[in-house]
Amino acid sequence: MLNVLIAKRSLDLKIDKSKAIELIESNDFQFAKTMKTIPHSYTLKEKWKNLEDFNSVVLWIRENGVPEQFMGKSYIYFYYAGFKYWTMGNSLEITKLINKAKDTDLKISLVEITEEMKKTGEKNGLVFCSKTVYYGVFKKNIMVGFFGLLIGSNILTIKNIYVNEEHRGNGYFKYMLNEIINVNTKKNIKATCTKYSIKHFLKKGFAVIENYKNGCTGVIYEIL
């Protein structure tokens, strides 16, 4: 009977990936001040409005993450949008926090656009400009995507953000947009969005400035 109840509770806590991400990103994480040599932050179960939501995310990470070794112990990590999330592996009843740290396997470096990259990009509606500076995003030396920037005196224009098809669903688009915003502190940022990408820009505080006939939308992020 006990096993049946446990199984039923696990089913009640089942969520999908999009819901897990939504719950993770809607709750606050605080920096672990006592562990400065291992930079990370955490969110406490007691701070969540719905404790069942917390339990659901813990179970989702453990069922869908990847096992890795850290300091001689095995943990299960969920990687998304430049971060990794994990718990300490205790039973659900006594698990009190979810940890978060930067994905240090992600690197950004200058790249030259190859003919193959250009051909693939153009098939997906990308337009390439000779004056654009391109950066590749690499996960353990494998390029997962790239973005292009046109750098003006007062405006930084995002020409492309592209995630390779086999690496989609891991938040790399969001990661690239975040990095562009975070490293730019002086220039306003403009971009032209498709109906698929505009949600990411609006969530980051971009404002719509023009709607084009082809269905795309011009947006701007103003530095105050």
pLDDT digits (tens, 9 = 90+) for 51-97: 999 999 999 999 999 999 998 999 999 999 999 999 999 999 999 99
3-state DSSP call for residue 215?
A: coil
Q: Selecting from 3.30.1490.20, 3.40.47.10, 3.40.630.30, 2.40.10.220, what CATH number does the domain 106-221 have?
A: 3.40.630.30
**What is the pTM assigned to this prediction?**
0.88
CA distances from 128 to 122, 147, 218 (A): 8, 11, 17
CA 107 to chain centre: 14
Residues 97-108: pLDDT tens digits? 999 999 999 999
Listed in order, strand segments (DSSP E) in the chain are 30-31, 41-44, 66-70, 73-80, 83-86, 97-102, 106-110, 133-139, 142-151, 155-163, 188-193, 207-211, 217-221
Domain boundaries, the chain: 2-102, 106-221
